[in-house]
Amino acid sequence: MNVKAEDDSYEIFVDGAFVGNTPARVKLAEGAHMVEVKKPGFKDYRKQLNITEGAELTLRAVLEKQ
């Protein structure tokens, strides 16, 4: 899965664990996962994803200012 945002300072979390900063390519096992993208001063972006084998996803996170 590719995760993109407006710049390179957004933090990516999968199932509560930090996995890197945007942009990033994240490997996920099959099944349901909660993906969060965070940046101080912005509302957290949360998306529940169901990953299937061979799926190629791109997530573009747009965060709102608090």
pLDDT at 55: 82
Contact criterion met (CB below 8 Å) for 45 and 38: yes
Would the pTM of this model clear 0.85, i.e. be above it? yes
pLDDT above 90 (res 7)? no
pLDDT at 54: 84
Q: How far apart are CA 2 and CA 23, in angstroms?
A: 7
Instruction: Please write the tens of the pLDDT for every residue from 8-63.
Output: 989 999 999 999 999 999 999 999 999 999 999 999 999 999 999 888 899 999 99
Does the bond joining 40 to the residue before it have cis omega, within 30 degrees of 0? no
- Both tokens of 17, joined, read 């664990």
